[in-house]
């Protein structure tokens, strides 16, 4: 394939991915057709099938592509300095960025979409969790263990501590979004959840 043809093919592939993401999130998996995706991507249905054998494979590629975007969050989680005088401030900064990233409307929509289809595609849901959020938790656990080794935290089970930290932050805004269909929080509320979550975490683990 000539370079120009490769470029056109890559652009069409990206257009199909973007269109499919939008349609899946609007109509759900069962309510989406390849015709819908082709129309929004401004390509023929034959072109969609040329790039993706069927709707299931297209859905899987969209879901798994998002798990690769978690690297920035992992870098953030791993970068907490071992500074006893700034521990609460550093954890608060992490908590706020954590909340901002994981309560974005598209992230919440994708989460609802994956949960809604977990019975149909259990392996896909498992892969998305393991390659995404579970990687963040594992990195956070290693960070908490490092801080414990420096004497800043008391941690017997680092992975459990990582789950406690994320749960304190995400329980309210994410559950509200899952049950009501979209974000129900303000920026001020996210700030409050971050500060209160860090205080509760440090009360248990410092």
Query: Measured between alpha carbons, how far is 19 from 41 in angstroms, rounded to an integer?
Result: 5
Residues 6+ apart with CB under 8 A from 79: none
CA distances from 66 to 102, 129, 193 (A): 12, 11, 25
pLDDT value of residue 1:
54
pLDDT value of residue 2:
56
pLDDT value of residue 3:
60
Helix (H, G, I), strand (E, B) or coil at 32: coil
pTM comes to 0.82
pLDDT value of residue 89:
95
User: 78-126: per-residue pLDDT in tens?
Assistant: 888 889 999 999 999 999 988 988 888 888 888 888 888 899 999 988 9
Query: Measured between alpha carbons, how far is 103 from 170 in angstroms, rounded to an integer?
Result: 8
The two tokens of residue 150 are: 């420096």
Low-confidence residues in the chain, pLDDT < 50: none
CA distances from 68 to 34, 130, 135 (A): 25, 11, 10
Match 């499919």 to its residue by tokens: 20
pLDDT value of residue 4:
65
pLDDT value of residue 63:
84
């Amino acid at each position: 394939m000539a370079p120009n043809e490769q470029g056109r093919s890559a652009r069409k592939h990206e257009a199909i991915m973007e269109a499919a993401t939008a349609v899946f999130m609007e109509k759900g998996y069962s309510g989406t057709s390849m015709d819908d995706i082709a129309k929004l991507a401004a390509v023929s249905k034959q072109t969609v099938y040329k790039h993706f054998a069927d709707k299931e494979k297209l859905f899987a590629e969209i879901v798994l592509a998002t798990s690769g975007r978690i690297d920035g969050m992992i870098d953030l989680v791993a970068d907490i300095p071992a500074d006893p005088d700034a521990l609460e401030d550093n954890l608060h900064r992490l908590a706020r960025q954590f909340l901002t990233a994981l309560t974005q409307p598209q992230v919440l929509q994708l989460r609802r979409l994956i949960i809604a289809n977990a019975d149909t595609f259990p392996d896909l849901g498992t892969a998305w969790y393991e390659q995404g959020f579970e990687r963040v938790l594992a990195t956070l656990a290693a960070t908490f263990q490092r801080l414990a080794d420096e004497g800043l935290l008391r941690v017997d089970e680092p992975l459990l501590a990582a789950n406690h930290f994320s749960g304190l932050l995400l329980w309210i805004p994410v559950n509200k979004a899952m049950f009501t269909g979209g974000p129900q929080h303000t920026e001020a509320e996210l700030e409050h959840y971050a500060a209160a979550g860090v205080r509760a975490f440090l009360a248990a683990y410092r």
